[in-house]
């Protein structure tokens, strides 16, 4: 432990020295009487001071939690020597706020005493957090000496974004070949009725539509749409974000990504992730609950990292973007690099839908003057950008904080349906 003298020690020592010297010079015993208490306090304080020998341990009830959860934490502190005043502080990272219990706390420990301090922390933001270290500061009985130590105990706490329940998700233009829940537009083996055609050699008898055959005097068979799965790539724009306090566009994008991944994995679709920003992260599409955890874990490490490096989609590995995959981009459309990448994806024929995580609620419009005009121009340019993406055939919907993600998805769905009709 690092020891240091408090200002009180210097004050009392100075008072004692000056008082006794002045008493001798002026030959006034009363001055000795005024000084002696400080000298006594100094001597008593230093005599009682012992270097504390402490050990501490930190435990978290959970290593994984959901946004908004309360997690119990327990600090065990043991003293081999008496500690008159011990101040203890558990450092909490950004995104983890103190809940119940005392932190920081001051307490007394006797020799050989062990205490358990129970407190709770609130997981207020998703992400991979490190709780700790524990800072200790001990004082002697009269506060002349202090000892400080940092107990290097760090506990990892992974906080997963709280997901929204989605009623319906977007369907791709073309599904994959494996079985799944998505009814394909193609004809083949399936449950959903598609059409009828004349019987040909090799058609199984169970597919004969006897009623239609009887009416037409020849054999007709039913055709059906096969149920296929889809490849969905969730594209998170981590180049820039708009943030106000504890909430920002990246938080919304992360929550939406987790909700979409959960919904698609539940439909037995293959889900992949591309975190496109200062640091590029990707996860090749796969299916199953394990993949959902992989996506969410990869999402936790996503953060906005300042970068001036110009990236295009060539940096993304090819296997991460399979043909016919539906790419759902969650972007605040603030950085030209991500907008360029979206246009590039569309130009290469990918089935693309963009959820514009609106930065507008995280900004304040200046009341008047040139700033207000600049703000309005910026908002208009955002509208223009959305329209230009739509003109390129990209379904874009603005999503604002406080509104359900389902609204934005339905807007995208409507655009895509309209676009399909227009092509036909």
Partner 1 sequence: MLALALLAFGILARYASTIPWSIVLVGAAYLIGREGNSVVDGGAAIIGALLLLSAELASWSIGENPRIKAEPSLVVRRVLTIGALVLGALVVDVLLLGTAAFSGSSGILLVVAGVAAAVAAMALVLRLVRG
**Interaction site with partner 1 (CB under 8 A):** 6-8, 11-12, 14-15, 18-20, 23-24, 26-41, 43-44, 46-48, 50, 82, 84-85, 87, 89, 102, 104-108, 141-143
Residue pair 223/196 in contact (Cβ under 8 Å)? The answer is yes
Shorter beta-carbon distance to partner 1: residue 140 or 251: 140
Which H or E run includes 182? strand 179-183
Length of the chain (residues): 424
The separation between CA 49 and the C-alpha centre of its own chain, rounded to angstroms, equals 47
Closest approach of Cβ 96 to partner 1, in Å? 17
The residue written with tokens 């494996």 in the block is 178
Closest approach of Cβ 94 to partner 1, in Å? 18
Shorter beta-carbon distance to partner 1: residue 144 or 399: 144
Shorter beta-carbon distance to partner 1: residue 48 or 280: 48
Residue pair 49/81 in contact (Cβ under 8 Å)? The answer is no
| Number of other CB atoms surrounding residue 153 within 10 Å | 15
Shorter beta-carbon distance to partner 1: residue 85 or 162: 85
Closest approach of Cβ 400 to partner 1, in Å? 37
Closest approach of Cβ 24 to partner 1, in Å? 6
Closest approach of Cβ 149 to partner 1, in Å? 16
Shorter beta-carbon distance to partner 1: residue 104 or 266: 104
Burial of 232 (0-12, 13-18, 19+ CB in 10 A): buried
Q: How far is CA 336 from CA 182, 210, 240, 309, in A?
A: 34, 60, 10, 12
Closest approach of Cβ 92 to partner 1, in Å? 13
**What contacts 24+ positions apart, CB below 8 Å, involve 165-170?**
165/259, 166/259, 166/260, 166/263, 166/405, 166/406, 166/409, 167/406, 168/406, 168/409, 168/410, 168/413, 169/260, 169/263, 169/264, 169/267, 169/409, 170/326, 170/328, 170/353, 170/409, 170/412, 170/413, 170/416
Shorter beta-carbon distance to partner 1: residue 52 or 277: 52
Q: How far is CA 140 from CA 43, 111, 157, 193, 308, in A?
A: 12, 14, 35, 84, 53
Question: What residues form DSSP beta bridges with 116?
Answer: 76
Closest approach of Cβ 111 to partner 1, in Å? 8
Closest approach of Cβ 112 to partner 1, in Å? 12
Closest approach of Cβ 84 to partner 1, in Å? 7
Helix (H, G, I), strand (E, B) or coil at 126: coil
Shorter beta-carbon distance to partner 1: residue 40 or 380: 40
Shorter beta-carbon distance to partner 1: residue 144 or 282: 144
Closest approach of Cβ 12 to partner 1, in Å? 8
Shorter beta-carbon distance to partner 1: residue 144 or 264: 144
Shorter beta-carbon distance to partner 1: residue 142 or 354: 142
Query: Exposure string (b/e) for 176-210, b if CB count within 10 Å is 16 or more?
Result: beeebebbbeeeeebeeebeeeeeeeebeeeeebe
Distance CA 109, CA 93 (A): 28
Q: What CA dihedral angle connects 250, 251, 257 and 263, to 10 degrees?
A: -160
Question: What residues form DSSP beta bridges with 117?
Answer: 75
Angle formed by the axes of helices 249-266 and 405-423, to 10°? 70
Closest approach of Cβ 106 to partner 1, in Å? 4
Shorter beta-carbon distance to partner 1: residue 84 or 237: 84
Distance CA 296, CA 254 (A): 9
């Amino acid at each position: 432990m690092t020891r240091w003298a408090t200002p009180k020690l210097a004050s009392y020592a100075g008072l004692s020295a000056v008082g006794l010297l002045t008493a001798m010079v002026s030959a006034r015993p009363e001055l000795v009487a005024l000084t002696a208490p400080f000298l006594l306090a100094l001597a008593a304080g230093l005599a009682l001071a012992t270097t504390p020998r402490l050990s501490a341990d930190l435990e978290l009830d959970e290593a994984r939690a959901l946004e908004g959860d309360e997690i119990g934490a327990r600090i065990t502190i043991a003293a081999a020597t008496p500690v008159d005043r011990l101040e203890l502080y558990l450092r909490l990272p950004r995104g983890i706020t103190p809940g119940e219990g005392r932190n920081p706390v001051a307490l007394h420990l006797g020799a050989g005493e062990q205490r358990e301090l129970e407190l709770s922390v609130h997981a207020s933001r998703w992400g991979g957090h490190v709780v700790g270290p524990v800072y200790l500061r001990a004082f002697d009985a009269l506060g002349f000496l202090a000892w400080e130590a940092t107990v290097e105990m760090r506990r990892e706490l992974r906080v997963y974004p709280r997901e929204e329940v989605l009623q319906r998700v977007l369907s791709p233009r073309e599904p994959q070949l494996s079985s799944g829940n998505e009814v394909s537009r193609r004809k083949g083996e399936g449950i959903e009725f598609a059409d009828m055609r004349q019987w040909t050699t090799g058609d199984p008898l169970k597919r004969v539509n006897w009623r239609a055959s009887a009416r037409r005097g020849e054999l007709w068979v039913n055709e059906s749409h096969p149920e296929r799965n889809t490849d969905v790539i969730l594209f998170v724009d981590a180049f820039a974000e708009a943030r106000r306090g504890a909430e920002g566009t990246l938080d919304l994008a992360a929550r939406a990504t987790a909700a979409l991944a959960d919904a698609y994995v539940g439909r037995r679709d293959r889900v992949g992730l591309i975190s496109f920003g200062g640091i590029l992260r990707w996860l090749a599409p796969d299916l199953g609950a394990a993949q959902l955890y992989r996506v969410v874990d990869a999402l936790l490490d996503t953060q906005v990292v300042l970068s001036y490096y110009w990236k295009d989609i060539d940096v993304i590995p090819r296997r991460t973007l399979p043909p016919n995959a539906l790419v759902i981009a969650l972007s605040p459309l603030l950085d030209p690099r991500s907008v360029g990448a979206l246009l590039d994806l569309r130009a290469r024929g990918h089935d693309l839908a963009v959820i514009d995580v609106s930065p507008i609620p995280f900004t304040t419009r200046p009341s008047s003057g040139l700033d207000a005009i600049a703000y309005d121009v910026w908002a208009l340019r955002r509208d223009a950008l959305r329209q230009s993406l739509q003109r390129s055939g990209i379904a874009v919907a603005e999503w604002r904080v406080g509104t359900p993600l389902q609204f934005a998805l339905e807007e995208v769905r409507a655009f895509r349906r309209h676009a399909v009709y227009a092509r036909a």
